[in-house]
Structure 1
Amino acid sequence: MGYNIEKQKKTQRQIAEAYISIYEANPYAKITVSQVCKKAGVHRSTFYLHYDNIDFMLREIEDSIFEEIEKYFIKIHLMDFDKIRREYLEGTDLDEIKDFYFQNKHLLRTLLAPYGSPCFFNKLKKGIVECFEWILYRSKLDMGSRPEYILSSMATGIIDILYNWLKDEDMEIEEIAKIIIKIFTQNPFLNQ
């Protein structure tokens, strides 16, 4: 029985990896079940044993990675941002976040690509905005009468920074974290 479950998980992983591989070069709306099955080396009926349709599979992939991201959002809620703002990450351990992004950079880069599904982008943006709102609340900071515009803009910028970093990989995560913290805590054009 255990072997069968492992085999099913392996097949499901194989199908998802085939989908992601195709998704890298094609808009999500143009990907078909036939393409995925051919790439994965499975029959269509096998695909439908695991997923209702191609959109369901994409949502399942997005949800699984977002569950992991949410764990980091919770940790961010608990961080002392006044200290981070003063010391720019001295003493802040980013190894766990770094490991997560390096293990998932291929998938994240694909999900955040310009031709990707807006669902993941919007979910990630909402999570970042909620983190910012929590930080503002805890820090008793005031961004005026319409903070949603500022927070939305900042969240979009942070996602763009993360996407470019995942795409180019020419900076250390500590540098990216400093840029993000600087954007959130002060004018990003001021010298350190």
Structure 2
Amino acid sequence: MTEKLDLRVERTQKTIQRAFIDLLHITPYPNIYIKDIAEKAMINRKTFYTYYDNKDILYDEIISLFFERLCSTFIYEKQVPTHGGGREDLSSDVYQFLALLEAEKEDLFYLLHPTLNPLWFPLLESTIIMKKNELHIRSSKKESAEDIPFKLYIDTISSLFVIWIYWWLSQEEYTLEQGTKHLCRMMNKTMPNIFRYSKPPLYNEKDEDYCTQ
């Protein structure tokens, strides 16, 4: 009996979530009301409030569950780190990351729309912090003066994920394999050279290609 009740609760929650996401496809977030969600899910408002106090909590649950799955693409419980390796692991993880985005691309376009970033960016950060052990992120405890501040560390990882998400959701040109290759190349080669501290060579009029390099 308990199992049937649990399945009914799960089914009702998924119905409410699906109704809310479908409404986001056609209605801006601020203009969605509880009565709209209830009508779309074919339930009464009392049933909605049985599971969620308001639409913000509903949104938070949907996004948090997704971010947990997204972070899990970088988590392999049986994975054993190899000395000097990592490139193949990175490629596999990035591919799974993009594949999850691709599988839910249509919904995520609305759920993670830039106008909603103030709502979901803190949820991404908190999910990364919650998963820090599995992601092999160091703890915030016992920071020394030489350590990168934990908040800066988390903000950087979160921002990187945001860039990847926005780039993939807004592009139609590349396949999963191509997208994975571009992101891995950026991680392995380009990013360490983004900031260059050596002075550029002085301009030489004889060097016609200098300005185009």
For normalisation by structure 1, the TM-score amounts to 0.66
1:183 partner letter: M
Q: Per-residue deviation at 1:167? A: 4.1
Match of 2:175 in 1: 172
Equivalent residue letter for 1:104: E
State the alpha-carbon separation in 2 of the partners of residues 70 and 14 from structure 1.
25
Question: Aligned to 1:186, what secondary structure does the other structure show?
Answer: helix
Question: 1:121 maps to what in 2?
Answer: 121
Higher share in helix:
1
Decide whether the 8 Å contact of 1:27 with 1:115 is kept in 2: no
1:18-57 to structure 2, matched below 5 A, reads: 18-57=19-58
Structure 1 unaligned spans of 5+? 136-144
SS in 2 for 1:180: helix
Aligned residues: 179
1:106-145, Cα deviation, whole Å (9 max, x unpaired): 34333321122523234436739x799959xxxxxxxxx8
Secondary structure of the corresponding residue to residue 75 of structure 2: helix
Q: Which of residues 182, 187, 190 in structure 2 aligns to 1:187?
A: 190
**Are the equivalent residues in 2 in contact too, given 1:27–1:116 (CA < 8 A)?**
no
Mapped contact 1:33–1:44 kept (Cα < 8 A):
yes
Ranges in structure 2 where 5+ consecutive residues have no aligned partner: 139-147, 194-213
Would the alpha carbon gap of residues 182 and 153 (structure 1) be closer, same or farther in structure 2, given more than 3 Å must change?
farther
Local SS of the residue matching 1:19 = helix
Task: Give the superposed CA RMSD.
Answer: 4.0
Report Cα offsets for 1:11-63 as digits up to 9, x if no partner.
21111011111223444333211111122221101111121211111111122
AA in 2 matched with 1:119: L
Q: 1:62–1:120: 8 Å Cα contact kept in structure 2? A: yes
